[in-house]
Amino acid sequence: MADDLTDFATLETIARDLALAAGRLIVDERPVGLGVAATKSSATDVVTEMDRRSEQLLQDELTRRRPDDGLLGEEGASTVGTSGITWVVDPIDGTVNYLYQLPAYAVSVAACTGDPSQPELLEPVAGAVYNPITGELFHGHRGGGAHLSIREVTQSLRASQEGDLSLALLGTGFGYEAQIRRRQGALLAELIGDVRDVRRGGSAALDLCSVAAGRLDVYYESGLNPWDRAAGQLLVQEAGGVVRIEDEQPGRLMVIAGSPALVDELAPRVTTR
Ligand code: LIP
């Protein structure tokens, strides 16, 4: 790239446009009586027709605006590009919240560099996460900082610098498979007495944005897919937070994000599984 920051800023603008468009779609065109169109890893890992329509909109827009880029989407979109940029998108992150009409779901759009054959290792360089219910648009690019725009007002984001775990507001989430959830619940039971309190929002993308905004001091979750975390992890880093992605166990990654001190303290406690 001739001028990375300029190009990254251009990619951020595209990510913002797409997240807004897909976010408006999933609210404005949500059918009455929306049901489950399909399930994936378990009976509770649901897909709706709006997940699919949102991803189709993202794919169509990226084909139009960035025809040489690659694409990886939660609902199956998968194309290898020639530009060195791969878009990693979650058309609705927090699908269960969306299905239940809990106002904590988002469209997550990230532009990444790296080898698309190893999606877990893709590096986000620009991204946007949009909650269409609150109107919060989190966005940023590598070297450009992290920001929150609500309608026409934009503010810079700064992650927590809390150093005391006992004062930390901790976020986490759980997988869709019962046996994994039991293990994740046991881990949380070990931690809950050591922190201020716990929040489980139901959207990793929004949880990571909460870390970037200082609304959570630290967050951990295992089993996330690249599309759940790509945009949010970039925003945490651009807001002065730290993101560590380590093996919880072979083949299953753990994401820990937050203030440097808390990530250092929490990481060994959540990865010795
Ligand atoms: C969700 C994540 C959330 C996790 C859920 C689910 P989805 O993604 O954002 O953090 O706890 O189990 O994986 O399935 O709504 O795109």
DSSP string, 208-266: HHHHHTTS-SEEEEES--HHHHHHHHHHHHHTT-EEEEEEEETTEEEEEEE-HHHHHHH
Q: How many CA atoms lie within 13 A of 101 on its CB side?
A: 7
> For the purposes of burial, counting CB atoms within 10 Å of the CB of 151, is it exposed (0-12), middle (13-18) or buried (19 or more)?
exposed
What single string gives the DSSP state of each residue in 81-132? -SSS-EEEEEEEESHHHHHHT-S--EEEEEEEES-TTSGGG-EEEEEEEEET
Q: How far apart are CA 209 and CA 196, in angstroms?
A: 20
CATH 3.30.540.10 fits 2-156, yes or no: yes
Q: What is the pairing mode between strands 169-172 and 70-73?
A: unpaired
CA of 95 to the centre of ligand 1 (A): 7
State residue 46's pLDDT score: 86
**Ligand 1 mean position to 1 CA, how many Å?**
33
Cα(81) to ligand 1 centroid in Å equals: 27
Q: Whose CA is nearest to atom 15 of ligand 1?
A: 94
Q: Which atom of ligand 1 is nearest to the CA of 223?
A: 13
Distance 12 CA to ligand 1 centre (A): 23
Question: If you measure from the C-alpha of residue 3 to the centroid of ligand 1, how many angstroms do you get, rounded to a whole number?
Answer: 35
> In the chain, what are the domain boundaries?
2-156, 165-271
Distances (CA, A) of 167 to 14, 160, 216, 263: 38, 11, 11, 14
Q: What's the average model confidence in pLDDT over 80-97?
A: 97
Do 216 and 210 touch, CB atoms closer than 8 A? Answer: yes
Give the pLDDT band of residue 251 (cuts 50, 70, 90): confident
Instruction: Name the band, by pLDDT with cuts 50, 70 and 90, for residue 217.
Output: very high
Which residues are within 8 A (CB) of 269 and not within 5 positions of it... i.e. 6 or more apart? 190, 191
For a mutational test of ligand 1's pocket, the pick from 50, 174, 203, 208, i.e. the residue with the most ligand atoms closer than 8 A to its C-beta, is 203
> Where does ligand 1 bind, in terms of residues with CB under 6 Å?
74, 90, 93-95, 173-176, 202-204, 221, 228
Q: Which residue has the tokens 């967050």?
A: 219
Distance between CA atoms of 48 and 225, rounded to whole angstroms?
18
What digits encode the pLDDT tens for the residues 194-207? Answer: 999 999 999 999 99
Which residues on adjacent β-strands are paired with residue 110?
88, 127
For 102, counting Cβ atoms within 10 Å of its Cβ (0-12 exposed, 13-18 middle, 19+ buried), the class is middle
Q: Given phi > 0 = left and psi -120 to 50 = alpha, else beta, which region is 124?
A: beta
d(CA 111, CA 203): 19
The proportion of the chain whose per-residue pLDDT surpasses 70, expressed as a percent, equals 97
| Ligand 1 centroid – CA 7 distance (Å) | 30
- Can you state the percent helix, strand and coil of the chain, rounding each to 5? 40, 30, 35
| Mutational pocket test of ligand 1: of 26, 93, 210, 216, the residue with most ligand atoms within 8 Å of the beta carbon | 93
Model pTM score: 0.96
User: Tokens 């990571």 map to which residue?
Assistant: 208
* Residue nearest to ligand 1 atom 10, measured at CA: 204
In angstroms, what is the span from residue 219 Cα to ligand 1's centroid?
A: 14
Share of the chain above pLDDT 90, in %: 89
Q: Determine the distance separating the centroid of ligand 1 and the alpha carbon of 105, expressed in angstroms.
A: 10
Which residue's CA is the nearest one to ligand 1's atom 11? 173
Residue-wise pLDDT for 162-181, tens only, equals 999 999 999 999 999 999 99
The alpha carbon of 7 is separated from its chain's Cα centroid by a whole number of angstroms, namely 22
Length of the chain: 273
Please tell me the class of the 165-271 domain. Answer: alpha beta
How far is Cα of residue 40 from the mean position of the Cα atoms in its chain?
19
The pLDDT confidence band at residue 2, using thresholds 50, 70 and 90, is very low
Report the nearest atom of ligand 1 relative to the CA of 173.
11
Ligand 1: which of 75, 109, 211, 228 to mutate, judged by most atoms within 8 Å of the beta carbon?
Answer: 228
Token pair of 200 as six digits? 């489980």
pLDDT tens profile 218-243: 999 999 999 999 999 999 999 999 99
